[in-house]
């Protein structure tokens, strides 16, 4: 009887993951690919800053924390990292953060090993829409509950949630986050206002 070869494990040890990040720069493990994280342009960074600012009041309410350009990984089995993502912005609930810090030894010296509650991807002039859409599909397969795809050129936000068709918001449409961020509600036009 011939045994089938063991399936290839996608990922790397935590030590290799951290070493490669330090020597080669940030990267993501997307499906079967290791994808370098590209440098951003100033307009992209300003857009991220606006979104972080919009979520900061919910940090003050102790509901969770907002992070920009921060790595999370899907899983660390004994000495093994599977899947890594670096969204432009992510929100992690207080409950998930507390559990992470309680369960993960040396948590501050590792990437987050959890699924955020909200991920925001900002399209920049250097992004291809199809690549960001493919990343959104991966987030949904990962089990993320809420993804916002923000296009500052088109001044739209596309909201993705599992099992629901994408919703395109623009102008006076209001962006909300349901029970995740109670009371968060902003007209799309305000999100793109230079004063935000």
Domain boundaries, the chain: 14-191
Give CATH for domain 14-191: 3.90.1570.10
Residue 82: the pLDDT is: 64
Give the pTM: 0.81
What does the pLDDT read at residue 86? 85
Task: Give me the pLDDT at residue 135, please.
Answer: 85
Query: Cβ contacts of residue 85 below 8 Å, gap of 6+?
Result: 28, 30, 71, 72, 73, 74, 119, 135, 138, 139, 142
Alpha helix locations (H) across 104-172?
A: 129-142
What integer pLDDT is reported at residue 114 of this predicted model? 92
pLDDT at 110: 86
pLDDT for res 95: 96
| Residue 182 DSSP code | T
- Tokens 């972080």, located at residue: 52
Residues of the chain scoring pLDDT < 50: 1-9, 196
Q: Classify each residue of 86-117 as buried b or exposed e, where b means 16 or more C-beta atoms within 10 Å of its C-beta.
A: bbbbbbbbeebeeebeeeeeeeeebbbbbbbb
Decide the pairing of beta strands 80-85 and 72-77: antiparallel
Q: Quickly tell me which residue has 């993501």 as its tokens.
A: 28
pLDDT given for residue 5 in this prediction: 41
- What does the alpha-carbon distance between residue 85 and residue 73 come to, in Å, rounded to a whole number? 6
């Amino acid at each position: 009887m011939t045994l089938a070869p063991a399936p290839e494990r996608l990922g790397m040890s935590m030590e290799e993951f951290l070493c490669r990040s330090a020597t080669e720069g940030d990267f993501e493990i997307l499906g079967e690919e290791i994808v370098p994280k590209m440098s951003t342009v100033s307009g992209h960074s300003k857009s991220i800053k606006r979104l972080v600012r919009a979520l900061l009041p919910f940090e003050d309410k102790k509901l969770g924390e907002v992070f920009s350009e921060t790595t999370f990984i899907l899983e660390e089995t004994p000495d093994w990292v599977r899947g890594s993502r670096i969204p432009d912005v992510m929100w992690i609930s207080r409950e998930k953060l507390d559990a992470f810090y309680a369960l993960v030894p040396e948590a501050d010296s590792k990437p987050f090993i959890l699924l955020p509650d909200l991920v925001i991807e900002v399209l920049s002039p250097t992004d291809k829409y199809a690549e960001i859409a493919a990343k959104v599909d991966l987030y949904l397969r990962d089990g993320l509950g809420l993804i916002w795809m923000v296009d500052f050129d088109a001044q739209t936000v596309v909201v993705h949630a599992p099992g629901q068709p994408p919703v395109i918001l623009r102008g006076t449409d209001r962006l909300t986050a349901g029970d995740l961020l109670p009371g968060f509600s902003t007209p799309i036009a305000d999100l793109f206002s230079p004063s935000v």
